[in-house]
A = this chain, B = another copy of it.
Amino acid sequence: MDKVRLAPVGLGRWARVLARGAQRGDLIELASCFSRSEEKRAAFQEEFGVERAAASYEELLADPDLEGVLITTPNDTHRDLIVQAAEANKAVYTDKPIAHTLEDAVAIARAVERTGVVFAVGHSARRLSGHRVMKRWIEEGTLGEVSLAEANFSNERGLELTPQTWRWYASKSPGGAFIQLGVHHADTLQYLLGPVRSVTAHARRLYTESEVPDAVMAILEFESGPLGYLGAGWASPGVYTLNLLGTKANLRYDLDFTHWDESHTADDYSTLRSQAYRETERPLVELPRTDMFREQLEEFALAARGEGTVEVGAAEAIRALAVVRAALESSERRGEAVTLTEVIQQAGAASAVG
């Protein structure tokens, strides 16, 4: 098979992380690229050996050789870029969150449905080996019944944001730490435990100078019964944890996410510990090596060729974003539980989540 020809769009730090992921395999050719900045295009071409670059997004999409695009632009630009790409019949991979609002996410889902293009959202975290093992232990019954699930994803970014970056602004990144970091766990927790029914949350802007919350805590009520806690902060050293408490065993996952970008080594900097019923010892669980960015891009590339499907499409990504929206809504209502159904229906997204 000849390589699948994809083009990164928005050539910042994250485009480079994904490009390195794609180039760790042999399935994908970075056939072109686009950024509004000519300088960035040239630098990206040089760094990754990309032969072509487009001078405009329209020119990129008009390229008949190009099979798909990899969107890593700011969240509030996803909608227009994705709708245009879908209408040009290109497969679309976009970084998470699918969009900055549920309304934009619905417009994206409709365009994808209308055009029938392959569409993938980069909720890569569920692919971390530790989370794959958790899923298997749940399915095989090793955990028994899960009653409590606890997750935190935090770092110091809120203390370092400047007005020059889009994440500073509530209109572009509503929810701050929760939409940028928490949304990862919102996907992973639903991957592990099924759909969230309602969200009870408080969001605070405590120490950041920016417009967005740097301390968010949410309680998730899952349709399957358990309660989930999701914390996301932007005012502390980095934390990435996910714990499951089950009737037969607990599992604790901990990742040093400074190695997140180089996803082929991330498993080396993470630990999964189990604790069986009536035991206090917490032995390490072996983690098979994974490479989340490479794997999701290769899955997307194959799907773009009609081979297989993507694991995370619009429906899953909207469910993750809906947790964020429900959390912000709940915080405005002093913690009152807000159902996912409510925020999904408000946004006209009911058909998009199936």
Please list the residues of chain A having a beta carbon within 8 angstroms of any beta carbon in chain B. Answer: 145, 147-148, 150, 152, 154, 156, 159, 198, 200-202, 204, 206-207, 214-219, 221, 225-229, 231, 233, 235-239, 243, 245-247, 249-250, 256, 258, 275-280, 330, 333-337
Distance in Å: Cβ of A222 to nearest Cβ of chain B: 10
Given contact pairs A147-B233, A247-B159, A247-B236, A215 touches B226 in the complex (Cβ within 8 A): yes
Within 8 Å CB of A201, what residues of B?
219
Q: Check B225 against A204 for contact (C-beta < 8 Å).
A: yes
Report Cα–Cα, A330/B337, bound state, in Å. Answer: 10
Distance in Å: Cβ of A162 to nearest Cβ of chain B: 17
Cβ-closest chain B residue relative to A232: B148
Selected from B148, B202, B206, B239, the residue in CB contact (under 8 A) with A200 is B202
Q: Check B217 against A237 for contact (C-beta < 8 Å).
A: no
Within 8 Å CB of A227, what residues of B?
202, 204, 215-217
Q: Check A147 against B214 for contact (C-beta < 8 Å).
A: yes
Distance in Å: Cβ of A212 to nearest Cβ of chain B: 13
Copies in the complex: 2
Besides A237-B245, A334-B336, A334-B337, 15 other A-B contacts (C-beta < 8 A)? A145-B206, A145-B207, A147-B235, A147-B236, A148-B215, A150-B229, A156-B278, A200-B202, A201-B219, A207-B247, A236-B245, A236-B246, A236-B250, A237-B279, A237-B280
Report Cα–Cα, A272/B74, bound state, in Å. Answer: 39
Report Cα–Cα, A156/B156, bound state, in Å. Answer: 36
Distance in Å: Cβ of A202 to nearest Cβ of chain B: 5
Given contact pairs A219-B219, A337-B335, A145 touches B235 in the complex (Cβ within 8 A): yes
Within 8 Å CB of A228, what residues of B?
217
Cβ-closest chain B residue relative to A333: B336
Within 8 Å CB of A250, what residues of B?
236-237, 239
Distance in Å: Cβ of A341 to nearest Cβ of chain B: 14
Instruction: Sample 6 A-B pairs with CB under 8 A, ordered by A number.
Output: A150-B231, A198-B335, A206-B225, A217-B228, A237-B249, A237-B279
Report Cα–Cα, A225/B206, bound state, in Å. Answer: 7
Within 8 Å CB of A206, what residues of B?
145, 147, 225-226
Report Cα–Cα, A82/B154, bound state, in Å. Answer: 46
Distance in Å: Cβ of A104 to nearest Cβ of chain B: 27
